[in-house]
């Protein structure tokens, strides 16, 4: 019996490489519909184990008792290049990189094909040694960040956990992804001194630049990773109203904020499109980390790959537009809005800014953020992007603006 985390691992990897695995299995099995879903699943798993993890036919036979060795041999020696010869370039790319054709169609207008492939490869986990970022949380003890940080680093060294400091965000440490489990089991993580946070997510708060005197609305806040960094950056002193539509996610946030000793957040389980009227023209800063297609987060959420389509995109775009309208009502004149999405699509970033540009004054972003896409040959001030292949982060759009008086 396999342990549940191993089952989840293989489930995720089969979903991640669905196009490629499905093509290999279906090409090798004469009448796939007649052998039933359980058998097909076994062949998908066997193909993954043999072609991605170099398992032998005998390893598979030991794991899955009544599996046909002849089929396994065919699967193992399958030549993708030969079998893809009569497909067009888009079909080949979709199968070889296991990427939905919608993403190919949609993104090749804003990035060249090599850059597109590099980003997809990164999100397929195919880089040699992927690292993840963990954030030091100093809200538990009355010590300076420097003091807590050196205590934590000493403890990591003692446990032989390799890390390196991030060059842009002082709270972040990079560790090899292979050491993630060591961190999860470590008491520093369990007691809320460390929390996993993608650098792109931390960059959003870096760009927000909260101050202790600010009244801040984090409109789409759960599970509260960015909210907690806002609290940390202001030593629990600013006022944060954190809105979240889903009750379960609001509860998750409550739990996380408690674990990290965040003390300055009021959680509002609400639809942030219809905030109470008394909050209009109220906030100094608004973070709108909007719900989106998640097309930039496929490394962590491979199942989202196969939800990428036109209606999913426009469902999110419509929601984001209403949330931006609401943000502009809630913000004080001259207040600052940071808008972000973990998406590659210009519709979930640049196009929104163009639509609302008459109400917004662009503000500068740090130099290490990449420029956003040019739309009709023009760049859009106040906006930038992070890319997996450039920054080793999720794909993110970030914009920072002042509301016009
Ligand atoms: C991208 S996630 C936010 C991640 C969060 N900022 C963080 O760093 O942990 C977007 C969140 O918005 C919530 N959401 C979606 N529609 C909403 C709405 N109309 N009002 C408030 N929250 C909403 C989703 O349930 C989801 O939790």
Walk me through the domains of the chain, giving residue ranges and CATH numbers. Answer: 4-98 (no CATH), 131-196 (3.30.70.1170), 207-403 (3.40.50.150)
| 350's tokens | 């640049």
CA 224/CA 67 separation, integer angstroms: 46
Q: Is the CB of 250 under 6 A from ligand 1?
A: no
331-341/283-289 β-pairing:
parallel
Backbone φ and ψ of 334, nearest 5°: 75, 0
Q: The pTM is what?
A: 0.95
Q: Residue 258 belongs to what H/E stretch?
A: helix 247-259
Ligand 1 atom closest to residue 341's alpha carbon, by position in its atom list? 1
Instruction: Kindly report whether the peptide bond that precedes residue 378 is cis, defined as omega within 30 degrees of 0.
Output: no
Q: How far is the CA of 51 from the centre of ligand 1 (A)?
A: 38
CA 322/CA 307 separation, integer angstroms: 22
Tell me the sheet residues that pair with 339.
288, 399
Q: Is the CB of 272 under 6 A from ligand 1?
A: yes
Q: Is the CB of 220 under 6 A from ligand 1?
A: yes
Residue (of 253, 180, 191) closest to 218 by Cα position = 253
Q: Residue 185 belongs to what H/E stretch?
A: helix 180-185
Q: Is the CB of 248 under 6 A from ligand 1?
A: no
Per-residue pLDDT of the chain (405 residues; tens, 9 = 90+): 456 678 888 999 999 999 999 999 999 988 877 888 889 999 999 999 999 999 999 999 999 988 999 999 999 999 999 999 999 999 999 999 999 999 999 999 999 999 999 999 999 997 768 899 999 999 998 888 999 999 999 999 999 999 999 999 999 999 999 899 999 999 999 999 999 999 999 999 999 999 999 999 999 999 999 999 999 999 999 999 999 999 999 999 999 999 999 999 999 999 999 988 789 999 999 999 999 999 999 999 999 999 999 999 999 999 999 999 999 999 999 999 999 999 999 999 999 999 999 999 999 999 999 999 999 999 999 999 999 999 999 999 999 999 998
Q: Is the CB of 225 under 6 A from ligand 1?
A: yes
Q: How far is the CA of 131 from the centre of ligand 1 (A)?
A: 26
CA distances from 161 to 132, 156, 183, 194 (A): 13, 5, 8, 13
Q: Is the CB of 252 under 6 A from ligand 1?
A: no
Residue (of 381, 375, 325) closest to 345 by Cα position = 375
* Nearest CA owner, ligand 1 atom 10: 291
Give the DSSP letter of residue 71.
H
């Amino acid at each position: 019996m396999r342990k549940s985390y191993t089952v989840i691992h293989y489930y995720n990897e089969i979903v991640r490489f669905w196009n490629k695995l499905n093509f290999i299995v279906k090409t090798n099995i004469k009448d796939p519909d007649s052998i039933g879903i359980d058998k097909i699943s076994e062949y998908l798993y066997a193909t993954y184990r043999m072609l991605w993890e170099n398992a032998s036919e005998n390893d598979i036979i030991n794991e899955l008792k009544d599996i046909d060795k002849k089929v396994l041999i065919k699967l193992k020696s399958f030549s993708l290049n030969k079998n893809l010869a009569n497909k067009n370039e888009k079909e080949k790319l979709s199968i070889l990189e296991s990427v939905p054709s919608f993403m190919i169609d949609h993104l090749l207008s804003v990035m060249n094909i090599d850059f597109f492939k590099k980003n997809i490869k990164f999100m397929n986990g195919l880089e040699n040694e992927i690292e993840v970022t963990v954030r030091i949380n100093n809200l538990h003890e009355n010590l300076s960040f420097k003091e807590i940080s050196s205590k934590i680093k000493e403890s990591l060294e003692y446990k032989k956990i390799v890390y390196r400091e991030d060059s842009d965000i002082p709270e972040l440490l990079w560790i090899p992804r292979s050491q993630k489990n060591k961190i999860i089991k470590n008491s520093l993580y369990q007691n809320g001194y460390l929390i996993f946070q993608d650098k792109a997510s931390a960059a959003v708060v870096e760009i927000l630049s909260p101050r202790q005197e600010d009244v801040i609305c984090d409109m789409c806040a759960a599970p509260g990773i960015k909210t907690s960094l806002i609290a940390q950056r202001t030593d629990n002193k600013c006022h944060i109203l954190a809105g979240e539509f889903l009750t379960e996610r609001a509860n998750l946030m409550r739990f996380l904020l408690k674990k990290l000793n965040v003390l300055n957040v009021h959680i509002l389980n609400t639809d942030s499109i219809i905030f109470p009227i008394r909050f209009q023209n109220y906030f100094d800063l608004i973070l709108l980390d909007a719900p989106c297609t998640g097309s930039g987060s496929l490394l962590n959420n491979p199942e989202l790959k196969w939800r990428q389509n036109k209606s999913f995109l426009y469902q999110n775009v419509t929601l984001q537009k209403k949330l931006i309208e609401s943000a502009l009502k809630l913000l004080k004149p001259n207040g600052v809005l940071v808008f972000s999405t973990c998406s590659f699509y210009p519709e979930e970033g640049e196009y929104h800014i163009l639509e609302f540009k008459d109400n917004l004054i662009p503000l500068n972003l740090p130099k290490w953020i990449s420029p956003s896409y040019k739309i009709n040959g023009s760049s859009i001030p106040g906006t930038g992007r992070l890319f997996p292949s450039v920054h080793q982060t999720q794909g993110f759009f970030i914009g920072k603006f002042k509301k016009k008086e």
